[in-house]
Amino acid sequence: MIRALRIISSNPLSLTGLVLVLLILAAALFAPLIAPFPTHNGSVVDFAFANRPPSTRNWMGTDLVGRDIFSRILYAYRISLGLGVVVLIIAAPVGTVVGLMAGYLGGWIEAVLMRLVDVFLSIPPLVLAIAVLGVLEPTLANAMIAVTVMWWPWYARLVYSIARSEREEGYVLAAEVIGASTAHITIREILPNCLPAIITKMTLDMGFVIIIASSLSFLGLGVQPPTPDLGSMVAEGARYLPDSWWMTVFPGLAILLAVFGFNLFGDGLREILGVDE
Amino acid sequence: MSNLLDIRDLKLAFKGLSGLSEVLHGIDLSIAAGERVALVGESGSGKSVTARIILGLLQETPNARVSGEVEFDGRDITAMRPRDRARLRGTEMSMIFQDPTSSLNPTFTIACQFAEVMRRRDPRMKQAECDARATEMLTEVSIPDPERVLNAYPFQLSGGMNQRVMIAMALVNNPKLLLADEPGTALDVSVQAQTLRLMHDLVEMHHTAVLFISHNLGVVREFADRVYVIYRGRIVEEGPTDAIFHAPGHAYTRALMDAVPRITGAGLPEVPEVSDDFLAPMVRHDGGAA
Amino acid sequence: MTLLSVSDLSKTFQTASGPVHAVRDVSFAVDRGECLAVVGESGSGKTTLANMILGILRPSAGTIAFDGAALPARRGPIQRRAIQFVQQNPLSSLNPKRSIGASIRLGLDTYGIGARAARWARVEDTLEEVGLPREMRRRSPAALSGGQRQRVGIARALACEPELVVLDEPTSALDVLVQARVLRLLNDLRARKNLTYVFITHDLAVVRNVADRVAVFRSGELVEIGDTPKIFSAPEHPYTRSLIGAVPVVDDAELQLRNRLAEGT
């Protein structure tokens, strides 16, 4: 732990990442306490203050119906992070199981599973998600499903490549000669050696999931109004560019900061956990 | 006569997260022109880092602290600019590594790699000239069909063959000093014996000085004129090979010698635990360093 | 008396460039309590042979009999438990993410050796037997030296209470001083527990001092087998002589022996 802090603090970029991630987490967690207008999270209308540029009352201005953009961004972070966490918590284990089985067992299981993974990876992610949402209704839950469907193969591939090289290690051979079960070898022996890479990837992916989710809602396929979402806020505001620039710029910056933060922090984590590229 | 290589009070420390850790505690080592010198020690004794300092590689590592003098052919390597140091490598001094197959680039033919080495000395050399010279060198290392080998990729050749190619490549620019880090350890014993004999003859012919780094006392005895024994970053004994092997003077050298199993079958020796005697002052035999 | 007997054992690998005979018609026997060294250079088939004895590879032809009964293609836990092995590379043979104790305990759990509650104590006893402190069971392999890791590797095999241990170059990655200590430990353990060793190595000097008998392999074939003193004083096969002749030696007596063998050719 002390070693981890030392490594992080010796690298200004990782430190920036850590600080950003902590700030964003705090913003999302304490949104109701921090937000100057907590009620603007829903369908509130305040035409008296509609379409105002940034001021001391509304730090990031207001939208067309007079809602405080800063407050809405804080709430939008809740949605984005929540979505990211749910997606990764489903995608990572699914991909891990597939990757472990394919990487360790080999043979036809490997062939079938990895071809399946290739099929998923060959479809551009956004297209895949749009296709899923075309079939299902565009809601938050379905957006999560769509993003999860496109995300798990990356974990499968990551874990597969590690498992394949670990399979050649002496400790796996030792366990095989002793006659340990496949479950023991994959879960107790190989999986712990994949975890650092998985955790690092999950951190890096938080940023990307936020982008993808925002892209979906930008296209009107994700979270539906009046729930605040960074992507749909950018989309709404884009119609009033360049005059009402704050409606687009601040949610856009919010996305940028989140992605930037998680990426920098993920890189630092990679170093701490000693994960190879 | 002045020495080709003179190392005086060489110290090396690495800056880690938990402060400085000293790896070399002031080493003195010298090699005369054409002399074969061995540096013997266990893993972690500091023998490989010494070679890396002579090659000027560690000086450029950000967390390494090098002090002391490394004088090569009258020039102080530690005081040189990195560019000048880089120019020495592959021309004035060259290196042979433990595993020949992985130290050759698998994506280029042997001819290509030879040409690259030769152009370090003379960038205007034509491919035909390079090939001619390479063929000559490959013949010197007793490779029967040099043309085939020149057009081959390293993975198409056996480990022993690659080792010979490495030796030929290391000597093609007529370096004054050859650094050999555990050469042939990755090879079979019989192949290793052959390549060492070959290397021995070649460096004698070319009057190349060698710093031979090894943990294998038997190999050292067969190859070197003079031996340095290194233990935990300190030279503990130095002298002509015969003297060291017939009358080891330092407790550590004796322990090392005793620990080697003999083919005459004296049984397994009782090895002393690490003792303070191992840190006793250095033993220097007569007829040693010039 | 015979514990392991190998008869007409062959292993052929199918490769893109045709079949490769890794082991060809090999027969020999190992007595209980004996140490047989299997010597050869790379490509001699010694590792393939070891893997067949361990049950990692299935022979193409021939049989391996243990304690009087032929070993089946799929071995049960009792048969697996009786034959354990120690690997060459102490760096990769232990899982970096598991404690030393967990690695040693795996065999106990798999074969159900001892009462569940008493297994950690057993693990610690085994650590003590290989000359390591009991507390070491909680440590991670990263905190250990090469010699210590190799001792853990030996402890892992011992914990299963095997009868035969296949040692695959157990000391060739170690420094000389460490090697000498590990070899002594292996000798002591064999005497104390009446273990039988198949000691696979390319290092003839080691063989001379630990093995009762030597089997010399070349290109998958057994070229010479005999008592250690005899193999070293009067080898019959020219290949054996050339192998001994290539050993780098440190003292004059050895040099004389080598020269005498060289003159014999």
List the domain range (segments joined by +) for residue B150.
Answer: 103-174
Which two three-digit tokens encode residue B232? 């935990």
Cα dihedral: B264, B265, B271, B277 (round 10): -20
Residues C211 and C196: beta-carbon distance below 8 Å: no
Which one-letter amino acid corresponds to residue A271? E
**Residue type at position A6:** R
Helix (H, G, I), strand (E, B) or coil at C252: helix
Condensed to tens digits (0 to 9), the pLDDT of residues C54-91 reads 999 999 999 999 998 999 988 888 999 999 999 988 88
Beta strands at C35-39 and C213-218: parallel, antiparallel or unpaired? parallel
- Give domain A79-273's CATH number out of 1.10.3470.10, 1.10.15.40, 1.10.3720.10, 1.20.120.1760: 1.10.3720.10
Size of interface A-B (CB pairs under 8 A): 4
Residue B279 domain-assigned (yes or no): no
**For residue B83, what are its two tokens?**
């560019």
- Structural domain tally of chain B? 1
Token digits of residue B89: 């490598």
**Subunits touching B (CB < 8 Å, at least 3 pairs)?**
A, C
Cα distance between residue C26 and residue C31, in whole Å: 17
Answer whether residue B111 is part of any domain.
Answer: yes
Taking residues B206-216, report their average pLDDT.
92
The structural domains of chain C, with segments of one domain joined by +, span: 2-233
Task: Please write the tens of the pLDDT for every residue from B274-283.
Answer: 777 888 888 8
Question: Is residue A80 a contact partner of residue A27, using CB atoms and an 8 Å limit?
Answer: no
Q: Which comes out higher in pLDDT, residue A89 or B275?
A: A89
C 211-240 residues with CB below 8 A of B?
228-229, 232
Which residue would you say has higher pLDDT here, B9 or B100?
Answer: B9
How close, in Å, is residue C29 to chain B by CA atoms? 24
Report phi then psi at B174, rounded to 5.
50, 60
- Tokens 């190879």 correspond to A276
Mean pLDDT for chain B?
87
Predicted local distance difference test score (pLDDT) of residue C265: 53
| Residue B99: closest CA among B49, B154, B57 | B154
Q: Is the pLDDT of residue B96 over 90?
A: no
- pLDDT value at residue B193: 85
Nearest to C4 by CA among C82, C104, C59, C75: C82
* pTM as predicted: 0.86
Sheet holding B226-231, edge to edge: B93-96, B177-181, B209-214, B36-40, B226-231, B234-240, B283-284
Per-residue pLDDT, averaged over B209-216, amounts to 93
Q: In the prediction, which pLDDT does B290 show?
A: 44
**pLDDT tens profile A103-137:** 999 889 999 999 999 998 888 878 888 888 888 87
Q: Are strands C196-201 and B93-96 parallel, antiparallel or unpaired?
A: unpaired
Strands C221-227 and C213-218: antiparallel
Cβ-Cβ contacts under 8 Å, A3 against chain C:
none
* E strand spans, chain B: 5-16, 19-31, 36-40, 64-72, 75-76, 93-96, 177-181, 209-214, 226-231, 234-240, 283-284
Is B132 inside any structural domain?
yes
Chains within contact range of chain A (3+ C-beta pairs < 8 Å): B, C
Q: Which tokens in the block code for residue B289? A: 């360093």
CA-based torsion, C162, C167, C173, C178: positive or negative: positive
Are C196 and C32 spatial neighbours (Cβ–Cβ below 8 Å)? yes
Percent of chain A past pLDDT 70, that is, above it, reads 95
The CATH T-level fold of domain C2-233 is Rossmann fold (3.40.50)
Does B73 fall in a domain? no
Tokens at residue C131, please?
């000359």
Tokens for C86, please give them: 């120690």
**How would DSSP label each residue in B138-181?**
HHHTT-S-HHHHHTS-GGGS-HHHHHHHHHHHHHTT--SEEEEE
Of residues C228, C242, C250, nearest to B260 (C-beta): C250
B226-231 and B234-240 as β-strands: parallel, antiparallel, unpaired?
antiparallel
Query: Which pLDDT score is estimated for B289?
Result: 47
Instruction: Among A23-27, A189-193, A269-273, name the most confident range.
Output: A189-193
> Are C35 and C164 within 8 A, CB to CB?
no
Distances in Å between the Cα of C44 and the Cα atoms of B191, B238, B263, C38 are: 14, 39, 21, 10
> Is C98 part of the contact surface with chain B (CB cutoff 8 Å)?
no
Q: What pLDDT does A276 receive?
A: 60
In chain A, which residues have their Cβ closer than 8 Å to the Cβ of B17?
Answer: 3, 6-7, 10
Question: What is the DSSP secondary structure assignment for residue B95, as one 8-state letter?
Answer: E
The beta-strand segments (E) located in C108-207 are 164-168, 196-201
What's the pLDDT tens digit per position in C154-194?
999 999 999 999 999 998 888 888 999 999 999 999 999 99
Task: Identify the CA nearest to B52 among candidates B239, B227, B236, B211.
Answer: B211
Instruction: Count the neighbouring beta carbons within 10 Å of the beta carbon of residue A189.
Output: 25
d(CA A10, CA B229): 38
CA distance C100 to chain A (A): 12
Average pLDDT estimate for A161-168? 93
Helix/strand/coil (H/E/C) assignment for every residue in chain A? CHHHHHHHHHCHHHHHHHHHHHHHHHHHHCHHHHCCCHHHHCCCCCHHHCCCCCCCCCCCCECCCCCEHHHHHHHHHHHHHHHHHHHHHHHHHHHHHHHHHHHHHCHHHHHHHHHHHHHHHHCCHHHHHHHHHHHCCCCHHHHHHHHHHHHHHHHHHHHHHHHHHHCCCHHHHHHHHHCCCHHHHHHHHHHHHHHHHHHHHHHHHHHHHHHHHHHHHHCCCCCCCCCCCHHHHHHHHHCCCCCCCHHHHHHHHHHHHHHHHHHHHHHHHHHHHCCCC
C150 in helix, strand or coil? helix
State yes or no: pLDDT of C216 exceeds 90. Answer: yes
Element at C69 (helix H, strand E):
strand C69-70
CA atoms within 13 A on the CB side of C216: 22
Q: What does the pLDDT look like over B135-162, one tens digit per residue?
A: 999 998 888 888 899 999 988 888 888 8
Could you tell me if B104 and B152 are in contact, meaning their C-beta atoms sit under 8 angstroms apart?
no
Q: Which residues pair with C83 in a beta bridge?
A: C164
Write down the mean pLDDT value for chain C: 92
The token pair at B74 is: 């009258």
The SS3 assignment for C157 reads helix
pLDDT digits (tens, 9 = 90+) for A29-74: 887 777 777 776 776 777 776 777 777 777 777 777 778 888 888 8
- Whether C156 contacts C100, CB under 8 Å: no
Higher pLDDT, C216 or B190: C216
Q: Is the bond preceding C19 in cis, omega lying within 30 degrees of 0?
A: no
Q: Which residues of A touch C103 (CB under 8 A)?
A: 171, 174
Which positions ≥6 away from A33 have C-beta within 8 Å? none
CA-nearest residue to C149 within chain A is A171
Nearest CA in chain B to A2: B17
Q: Which chain B residues touch C185 with a CB distance below 8 Å?
A: none
- Which residues from chain A sit within 8 angstroms of residue C92, using beta carbons? 169-171
- Please write the tens of the pLDDT for every residue from B43-84: 889 988 998 899 888 888 888 888 898 999 888 888 888 888
Preferred mutation among B219, B232, B263 to probe C, highest tally of C CBs within 10 A: B263
Contacts of residue A229, Cβ cutoff 8 Å, sequence gap at least 6: A76, A79, A80, A213, A214, A217, A222, A223
Contacts of B62 in chain A (CB under 8 A): none
Q: What pLDDT does residue B287 have?
A: 62
pLDDT over 70 (residue C252): yes
pLDDT digits (tens, 9 = 90+) for A204-254: 888 888 888 888 888 877 777 777 788 888 888 878 778 778 888 888 898
ipTM for the predicted complex comes to: 0.88
Q: Report the share of chain A in percent with pLDDT over 90.
A: 27
C205 vs A147: CA distance, rounded Å: 63
> Is beta strand C18-31 parallel, antiparallel or unpaired with respect to C69-70?
unpaired
Mean pLDDT calculated for residue range A250-266: 89
